[in-house]
Amino acid sequence: MRRILALVTRLVSTRMERLRACLPLLVRYNSVMPEDPTQRAEDDLEFTDMPTARAPDWELVFHDDPETPTDFVMYLLEHLCGHSEEQARSIVQELNTRGLAVAAALPERMARAKLSQIEDAAKGKYPFKATIQSAE
């Protein structure tokens, strides 16, 4: 019985020593340090006035062709580009008038992903053409 008690006491004291050694680290990393530059006060306007950096936009351009139905272009604009029906109709009208229209302005990776989705949707059905170009 004494052996078991001695083993338990040693085990508990060893674990307590480890916890005591970790305690300063726990306190240090869980408390808010006032000199920490990532912590800001509620009334600190310095950070809110800073502009947000954005990736340069790329334009997703739709090209008009006589074989692709307007309903399909409307579907692409509403479901893949996220436009409302009104916005989609306006873009389709510009597409019919000018022969091309900017469907969306997105960061390059998103524009390439949307272009791929649009090409997949049209593949084998319509000769619809869309391209991306730098907005600058």
Taking residues 12-35, report their average pLDDT: 62
Sorted by where each begins, the domain ranges of the chain are: 57-134
Task: Tell me the C-alpha distance between 57 and 81, whole Å.
Answer: 15
Contact 62, 73 (CB under 8 A): yes
pLDDT digits (tens, 9 = 90+) for 90-102: 999 999 999 999 9
Identify which of 91, 61, 59 has the alpha carbon closest to the alpha carbon of residue 74.
91
pLDDT digits (tens, 9 = 90+) for 43-100: 555 555 666 767 778 999 999 999 999 999 999 999 999 999 999 999 999 999 999 9
Taking residues 31-37, report their average pLDDT: 55
Looking at 3.30.1390.10, 3.30.2420.10, 3.30.930.10, 3.30.750.80, the CATH number of the domain 57-134 comes to: 3.30.1390.10
